[in-house]
Each structure stands twice: as structure tokens, then as C-alpha cells.
Amino acid sequence: MPQQNRTVKSVLGGLLGLVGLSVVAGLLVTASATPVLAMTGITGSKALTLFEELPENLKVNAPMEQSTIYAKGTDGNPVALASFYDQNRIPVSYDQVAPVMYDAMLASEDKNFYSHGGVNLGATIKAAFGNVTGSTDRGASTITQQYVKNVQIQECEQKVDTAAKDYDDQINQCWLNYAVATGSDGIERKLREMRYALQIEKDYSKNDILLGYLNISSFGGRVYGIEAAANRYFSTTAANLTIAQAATIAGMVQAPNTYRIDLPGGTYTTKDGVAHNSAEDGYKDTLTRRNYVLERMLIDGKITQAQHDEAKATPITPVLHDATQGCATAGDNAYFCQYVKSVVESDKAFGDSPEDRRANLRRGGLQIYTTLDLSVQNPAIEAVKSRVPQSMPGILVGGTGVSIETSTGRIIAMAQNTAFNESATANLAAGESSQVFAADRAHGGSTYGFETGSTYKLFTLLDWLNKGHSVNQVLDGRLKTFTPFTACGDKITNNTKINNFGNGGGSVSSVARFTAQSLNTGFLAMAQQLDLCDINEVAKSLGVHYGNGDDITVGGTDVNQAPNSPFASVLGSKSVAPLQMAGAYAAVANNGIFCEPKAIDRVVGQDGQDKAIPETKCTQVLTPEVAATAAFALAGVMNGGTGGNARPNDGIPVIGKTGTAEKSHTMLAESSTKVATVVWVGNIDGRETLNNFRANGTRLGDIRYGMAKAIQTAANAVYGGDAFPKPDTKLTRQVQSDVPNVVGKSIEEATAILDEAGFTATVSSPVDSDLPANVVAAQSPSGQAATGTTITLSPSNGQGATVPAAVIGQSRSDAQNTLFGAGFSAVAFDNTCNPPNAKVTSTNPAAGTAANKSATIQVSCQ
């Protein structure tokens, strides 16, 4: 068992080693005094420099380490999702290694470790001279010197780009460059190694150095460190190694790739074609080396004769454990892992260059704590996978759901129907993919995104409100060819009639009603009063862009690179990642504050200190009044509108919007005040109609409802939700418009005029009028009314005449003549008209009004 503390002897040994090395250095300073210098070319100042420089990377607790990504577990504690590494290393503490492992390593590599000062001077000088002459490349190194060697080799390895095609070859070259250095390079390396070893002995305890050596050493292939070696070769831990296992692993450090025992076919082949150190020969080379280690342990008194004999009689029987890394190990969480990986590899918080960022992920020992919440993620996975098949004959089916916290942008769930596979053999037709359906291309998603359908109408609604319009304004949303439109200030002529979902005829109704029913023609009527470019600018301000990262434009192309109609900016044939849409709806639910999507909460470095994380911002993009009023309209979608089937039954208020695009893509967005969820179900390549296919008895086009409902219900259970703010009074006002005067127009002409002005006409029973039959004799209301109001038209019956105004002030005889002349056949004067000077003061019906010609006109005088 190794000693726990430094002894007086070991301290003295260190001093003697330093003195001895100083003597060697002194000899090397003067070329005339030592023939070695003439041979090496190392003279005065260079020799001294070797003893002055001590790099920072010689800390015994900082080897290259794997990085690990964590999620928040259902109990609130971190759960590891995946690890990334170049070197499969799991650092352990001193107490996590079995004492027999220390004994085996010391017996075989450095029995005097606890007594020397870091350098075996005599053996080192012999090795140095051998290096100078090229007669040997022997190391004669102590464990401390071997640690220095491993650190310096690792320094070389850290310069190798992890993405290099010849990565393994470059790593091997690092070992070769160090191992075979001879002549000047060899002695310089050995002197530097000695100097560093002495300095480490001054700065660290023996136990720290020994543990550091075990944590950094190579044990074959990409297995580094004692814990990884125990896991790999015997499926156990360093704390539970047996004597035979410990001796086997200790023996490997001399030639790791020769003595490794995970290649049944052998670790090398001789010229005669025979494979050696294979399962067939019982790993003969490793067995010989192991037995040597056991013999040294017996001689040093670390094990008894009985223990030695038992261990020696034990055949080498590997129990291999395949250490997996990367997002594939995250199972159903792999797509979120892939998203996080893309953030690490692209954000400068993890390094200035792509190479630095890749290296940091695989070598930096980062503990990356993400936003993923398994309390929501697990139900989301169930919601997606139980509804959307991994694959189906005849269609490349895809489905995803993503949820974000509205007030922070934290991504708390991201689920997908396919099986994660990032190999070159991944078969999309079989439902295998590494593409993150919820994300844009920069984060592992589709180059083009997926079509949003009418969920994109959100931005027309928001621009409508931004311009001060009311959601209660009534517009003519009946089916017709809408033209013209404005785009970036220019007029666009449209010759295409846009249909509604289900080929409905549309209606004259309010903007709020258009939203609830997702009426295409209603939104086109709105868009005629807006600028299409402004609509896209609203989308941009809320983080929405094409899947490839480009800004949304009027027109453009769809997911299949086919030209889009300019009206895609209104109706939503835009290829956008679901996550971006979730962010936009979250902003509406968050009082107009848009928070950029965030996947990482915290990063802890190898030194245990918090590191900078990618910066994300929350910005007030919409006014609270616009956000509240938009939420008011979007609530109608979930309460009696097209999204009603996706509304949770938990009583928590939600807003939302449905979308269908070209029959191949369906999307549904919904949000409480706390969490926004967007789901997409579609044909990945957009070539097949969803509703021609069913899964579990449900048309693919209808799967989104149950899927979104299940995910949002899970989010509500964890995060809750409040009532949405009341809508703004100005943005919900009734809007009055001038009612055209159509009296005297034919019924047909009057109806067309009112229709053009956004009103609806209805015709009542004919009334007496001096106008021709079927000509509008009266309308109600007149003046001003709310757009879309029904105007009642009263046609003339053609049998009336207007009581002449001229009768007022006339004498009885003149008045009678005037009325007869107007076509009335019956006139009755009351007694007030009998006096000879009496003048007419009133009539009934009144002068100037219409009456049937057969009606009796009552006349009064004064």
C-alpha cells in the first residue's frame, strides 16, 4: 500500500536528486569540459534555459478530460445525457482506486517512488548518453518522469484537430516523436523531463503525483486513465480491481497498444502473417507482462505467495465494455443533445475558432448543464413516439415537439419520432436520422426548415395591431381575387384567387373571428391594408428566419425550392424551424418580450469554476398592449376555433394557432403564460399528402392536436400558467366607416356598392315611393356604421308619389290642384281650411314624403 505522506528520506532524496542534476547541468554548460555537448550541440545558455522553463500544463490534476452534457432530472438533480472525448478518461480521486492497483503499478514501474526525489539519476544519465549516441531509446524514467512525458505527449495531442481525417495517425505521431528522439533532441528532452520532474516533486505530494499518473496514462487505443481502463477491459471500476486485473492493467503502460486486450484478432502481426497477443494465444504477450508484474509484487511483499499463485493461474479473460460517446448515447434525448453540441461547436464562449471549440468539447472536461427538463421531456417523447411512427411505407414521415419557457427562452423539451443515427449508413426511409427537426440548419436541423402553414399568420395579426388597427374591425373576407397588395412600398397585382381551408367561401367578419377560424381570405383582406415586407420584419424581430438562417423575404422559395407566392408572407408557406415559431409565440405570451432560445444554463470547467455560457438576450419587441390583444385573438383559436382539440383540460389558459401547408406539413403552436409549445408533423420531403396516410387510426394531418395537447399538459403540470392580460381597449374598439348612400340605385347596383365598401346588404319589403319599382327608396342605417354591418335596403313599389312641399302656404284651392297634379286622387281638408284666407300649414303624410297615390292626403290650415 503506498505511503500517505512524504518521508524524511524522500525529501533528502529530492534534494540529492536536485544536486545531482545540477552537477550534470554544470558539466553541460561548458562544451570543452564534456564531450557530450559537442555531440548534442547544446551549449551554455540553451542548457541553462532547459532548467529555467516550467510550463503551466504540468499540473497533476489537469489531463485531457471528457465533457458531459446534463439534463434536469425528474427529481431536480442533474442526469448525464452524453459525453464527448478524444481520450476515454474518467478522472478519479485517490480513494477511488484499489490499493492493489497502486501496488501493482509501483512494483512494475517505480518501486522506489516514495523514496526518490523524482529522478533516478544514474539510470537517467545512462539513458541520456544512449539517446545521444543513438544506441538506445530506453527511458529509465521514474513515475514522476513518466508523468511529465505523458503530459508533454498530451500537449502535442491537443494540437491535433479533432475533425482531422488522419486524427489517429497524428496522435500516434505524437508518441513516436517523443519516444524515438535521439541525439541532441533526445538528451534535451531527457534533461527537460528531469527538471520538470524535480519541480513537480516540490509542488505536489507523492500521492497526487501517483494519482495524476494513473489518470493520464494511456492503456491502449483511446482508453486513458485507470478508471476507463478498468471499465473497458474488465467492466468494473478502479476501486474493485482484483490482483490479476490490476497486474494486467499495470503491465500495459510499457506498450499500451501492444498489451491491450480488446482486439481478439491480435495487436500486431509478424512478417510471417501470424497475429500475436490475440484471444487465440491467450493474449500471450500481455500474460507474460502481467506475470512479471505479479512476480515484482511478490518480491516487494505486496502480495502473498498464495495470492501470487492464484492470480498467475488465472487466464486473461477480458470482460469488455464498449464506452460509447456522443449524442447517440443520449437515447431519445439525442436530438436535444445534438442541438447543444451545435451550440458548443459554434459559439465563441467555447473558443475563438471552430478547432478550439471542438477541442474544448472533447478535451476540456466541461460539465454542461442544459435547460432540458425531463419532467416535460419524458412526456413529450411519449407524446411524439406514441403518435408518429418512426417510419411508414410510402411516405417519409416526421414529427417533432419543442417547448420553451416564455420568460427565459430555455428549451425544456425537444422530442422527435425518428431513431438517432449520424453514421453514413443512416436510412431515412427506415426512420433513421441525425437531423434535428425542431431546429434550423445552424443547430443540426433542416437546410430549409418546414413549412409553417397558418401559424405564420401570427405576424400579419401583430403587424395589424402594430399599425393601430382593431381586432374587432370587420372586413370583407369573402372569397374573391384580392388585389392589389403592397410590398416594400411597391404595388403588387394579384390575379390568383386564394382558397380557404376546406374550400369555404369566407365571410364578412372581424379580425378576431378570422384568427379563430384561420380564414385565408380574411387575412388577405387585412394584408391589403398592410405592407408585406413589414409583416416579415415583425417575424424577423421575433427571431424567425428561414431554416438556412436567411431573413424571410416576400416570395422566395419553399422547402422544395419551388417559388413561393408573395402571399406566403400572409398565409404562411414559409420554411421555418419549429423552435423559431415557439420563440415567437412565447413572446406574445410574455407581454411582448422576446427571449432568444437558450439550451445551456451553466458550464463548469475542469478546474471546478463556472465558465462563460453563450449569451442570450430578452428584448421588448412588442408593446404589452399589442401582445395582450394578440393573445386575446389567439385565445379564440383554442376556445371554439381551429385549435380547440389541442387545448389541455387542466383549466390553464392557453393561446395558439394551427397551420397546414400544401397538405404535406402541419404545425400547431400553443402557449400558456409560462411555456410555449410547437409541434410539427409532416412529410419530410414534402411529396406526399398527409391525409392519405393513417397511424393508429388517426390521419397524419390530425396527429398534431393530441400531440400538442399532451406536451402542453405536461408543461402546465410543472410550470403552471396565469390568466393572460386583458386586451387593449383601443385595439379592440368598434371601427366606424361611412355607409355609401344608395337611395335611388337599383337593388343590384346598391348591393355591389355596399359590398365593395365592406358592408352586407339585405332587402326588405317594398315601400311606397315615387321612385320606380325595385329602386332603393330607403336604407338603414345610413351615415356611419361598423364595417361589415348589414344595411337594410327598402325598394320602391312604383305606386307612390311624393307629397309636394309646395302645398305648404297655399290656399285650399291651390293646394288641391297641386296634390291632384302630383298624382293623388283623394284629398281631405279639415275645418281649419274653410275660411277664405286660410293657408295650408301641414299634410299627413307630411310634405316631402312618399305615399301611395290612392292614399287620402289630410290637409290642415291656419
What count of other Cβ atoms lies within 10 Å of the Cβ of residue 372?
A: 27
Which residues have C-beta within 8 Å of that of residue 342, sequence separation ≥ 6? 436, 439, 442, 443, 444
pLDDT, greater one: 152 or 521:
521
Using a CB cutoff of 8 Å and minimum separation of 24, what contacts does 10-15 make? Answer: 10/114, 10/115, 10/116, 10/117, 10/206, 11/117, 12/117, 13/115, 13/116, 13/117, 14/116, 14/117, 14/118, 14/198, 14/201, 14/202, 15/117
Instruction: Please tell me the predicted confidence (pLDDT) of residue 398.
Output: 96
Quick check: 828 pLDDT over 70?
A: yes
C-alpha cell at 187: 538528451
CA atoms of 818 and 204, how far apart (whole Å): 127
Quick check: 16 pLDDT over 80?
A: no
Query: Do the Cβ atoms of 543 and 584 come closer than 8 Å?
Result: yes
Segment 16-33 shows an average pLDDT of 39
What count of other Cβ atoms lies within 10 Å of the Cβ of residue 167?
A: 14
DSSP state at residue 423: S
Q: How far is CA 852 from CA 774, 804, 843, 860, in A?
A: 15, 13, 14, 19
Which residues have C-beta within 8 Å of that of residue 152, sequence separation ≥ 6? 178, 193
pLDDT tens per residue across span 46-87: 333 434 444 555 655 556 788 999 999 999 999 999 999 877
pLDDT, greater one: 8 or 496:
496
Instruction: Please tell me the predicted confidence (pLDDT) of residue 50.
Output: 39
DSSP one-letter string for 548-589: TSPPP-SS-B-TTSPBPPTTHHHH---EE-HHHHHHHHHHHH
Quick check: 512 pLDDT over 60?
A: yes
Query: Quick check: bond before 648 cis, omega within 30?
Result: no
Q: For the chain, what percent of residues have pLDDT higher than 70? A: 87
Segment 601-630 shows an average pLDDT of 96
Q: For the chain, what percent of residues have pLDDT higher than 90? A: 65
Quick check: 561 pLDDT over 80?
A: no
Quick check: 650 pLDDT over 50?
A: yes
Query: Do the Cβ atoms of 827 and 798 come closer than 8 Å?
Result: no
Quick check: 311 pLDDT over 80?
A: yes
pLDDT tens per residue across span 695-730: 999 999 999 999 999 999 999 999 999 999 999 999
Quick check: 126 pLDDT over 70?
A: no
Quick check: 482 pLDDT over 80?
A: yes
pLDDT, greater one: 3 or 386:
386
pLDDT, greater one: 152 or 383:
383
Instruction: Please tell me the predicted confidence (pLDDT) of residue 745.
Output: 94
What pTM, to 2 d.p., does this model score?
0.75
Q: How far is CA 204 from CA 15, 183, 756, in A?
A: 15, 31, 89
Which residues have C-beta within 8 Å of that of residue 446, sequence separation ≥ 6? 435, 437, 440, 547, 559, 575, 577
Which residues have C-beta within 8 Å of that of residue 726, sequence separation ≥ 6? 628, 632
Segment 115-126 shows an average pLDDT of 77
91-95, 118-122, 161-165, 414-418: which is most confident: 414-418
DSSP one-letter string for 123-157: HHHHHHHHHHHTS-------HHHHHHHHHHHHHHH
Quick check: 388 pLDDT over 70?
A: yes
Segment 577-605 shows an average pLDDT of 98
Instruction: Please tell me the predicted confidence (pLDDT) of residue 185.
Output: 65
CA atoms of 248 and 528, how far apart (whole Å): 80
CA atoms of 840 and 859, how far apart (whole Å): 7
In 3-state terms, what secondary structure has residue 111? coil
Quick check: 13 pLDDT over 50?
A: no
C-alpha cell at 849: 314624403
Query: Do the Cβ atoms of 654 and 640 come closer than 8 Å?
Result: no
Quick check: 614 pLDDT over 70?
A: yes
Quick check: 369 pLDDT over 70?
A: yes
Query: Do the Cβ atoms of 419 and 431 come closer than 8 Å?
Result: yes
Query: Do the Cβ atoms of 470 and 546 come closer than 8 Å?
Result: no
Mean pLDDT, the chain, whole residue set: 87
DSSP state at residue 503: G
Residue whose grid cell is 552537477: 23
Q: Which amino acid appears at position 583 of this protein?
A: G
Terminal CA-CA length for the chain: 137
C-alpha cell at 623: 408593446
CA atoms of 533 and 539, how far apart (whole Å): 10
CA atoms of 497 and 574, how far apart (whole Å): 19
Q: Which of 286, 279, 281 is nearest to 244 (CA)?
A: 286
CA atoms of 613 and 348, how far apart (whole Å): 9
Q: Which of 701, 722, 631, 622 is nearest to 670 (CA)?
A: 631
Instruction: Please tell me the predicted confidence (pLDDT) of residue 133.
Output: 53
pLDDT tens per residue across span 203-251: 889 999 999 999 989 999 889 899 999 999 999 999 999 999 999 999 9
C-alpha cell at 770: 315615387
Which residues have C-beta within 8 Å of that of residue 680, sequence separation ≥ 6? 398, 399, 400, 401, 437, 438, 450, 578, 665, 666, 667, 704
Quick check: 39 pLDDT over 50?
A: no
Which residues have C-beta within 8 Å of that of residue 481, sequence separation ≥ 6? 494, 495, 496, 497
Instruction: Please tell me the predicted confidence (pLDDT) of residue 3.
Output: 42
The backbone region for 672, taken as left when phi is positive above 0, alpha when psi lies in -120 to 50, beta otherwise, is beta
Quick check: 431 pLDDT over 70?
A: yes
In 3-state terms, what secondary structure has residue 331? helix
Cα-to-chain-centroid distance, residue 366: 20
3-state secondary structure 343-397: HHHHCHHHCCCHHHHHHHHHHECCEEEEEEEHHHHHHHHHHHHCCCCCCECCECE
C-alpha cell at 3: 505511503
Instruction: Please tell me the predicted confidence (pLDDT) of residue 10.
Output: 39
Residue 1 burial by Cβ neighbours in a 10 Å radius (0-12, 13-18, 19+)? exposed
Residue 263: in which H helix or E strand, if any? Answer: none
CA torsion sign for 531, 534, 536, 538 is: negative
Quick check: 777 pLDDT over 80?
A: yes
Quick check: 179 pLDDT over 50?
A: yes
Q: Are strands 694-695 and 698-699 parallel, antiparallel or unpaired?
A: antiparallel
Instruction: Please tell me the predicted confidence (pLDDT) of residue 694.
Output: 95
CA atoms of 340 and 68, how far apart (whole Å): 11
Query: Do the Cβ atoms of 572 and 339 come closer than 8 Å?
Result: no
Q: Which of 741, 732, 727, 752 is nearest to 785 (CA)?
A: 741
Quick check: 806 pLDDT over 60?
A: yes
Quick check: 12 pLDDT over 70?
A: no
Q: Phi and psi for 486 in degrees, rounded to 5?
A: -120, 135
Quick check: 30 pLDDT over 90?
A: no
Instruction: Please tell me the predicted confidence (pLDDT) of residue 42.
Output: 33
| Radius of gyration, CA atoms only, the chain | 43
Segment 569-577 shows an average pLDDT of 82
Instruction: Please tell me the predicted confidence (pLDDT) of residue 56.
Output: 52
pLDDT tens per residue across span 274-293: 999 999 999 999 999 999 99
Quick check: 22 pLDDT over 50?
A: no
